[in-house]
Amino acid sequence: MNDSPFDTVCTILRTTLDMTDQDPIEPGTVLETLPNADSLRLLRTISALERKYDIELDDADIFKARTVADLTDIITKAMTTQVAPSAPRGLTGK
């Protein structure tokens, strides 16, 4: 079973911010208040999410995200609006 985008965001936040499973993360949690959160670690979080979902997030959207729910919404929107690049010609068998 696949994790929800919220669960994946939480997992990646825990990893990039060196958080424990006991550190609470709720949808309304303000990103800057998470343990060990600083601008560099939050950018690493964004980069990890982009790699995980093979998406590119808009910088303006990223800087508007205040909460974990905001970040999850941005990820979900990008997943539904971005199309994976098509395979180069010759690799599709056509």
- Domain holding 39: CATH number? 1.10.1200.10
Q: Is residue 88 part of a domain?
A: no
Domain coverage including residue 26: 5-81
pLDDT in tens, 51-88: 999 999 999 999 999 999 999 999 999 999 876 555 45
Q: Is residue 91 part of a domain?
A: no
Q: Is residue 90 part of a domain?
A: no
pLDDT recorded at residue 84: 55
pLDDT recorded at residue 82: 78
pLDDT recorded at residue 4: 93
Q: Is the pLDDT of residue 94 over 80?
A: no
Element (H, E) at 15: helix 5-16
Measured CA angle at 18 (ends 16, 19), to 5 deg: 110
Q: Is residue 93 part of a domain?
A: no
pLDDT in tens, 1-48: 578 999 999 999 999 999 999 999 999 999 999 999 999 999 999 999
Q: Is residue 13 part of a domain?
A: yes
Do the Cβ atoms of 4 and 75 come closer than 8 Å? no
SS (H, E, C) 16-79: HCCCCCCCCCCCCCEHHHCCCCCHHHHHHHHHHHHHHHCCCCCHHHHHHCCEHHHHHHHHHHHH
Q: Is residue 25 part of a domain?
A: yes
For the chain, what is the domain count? 1
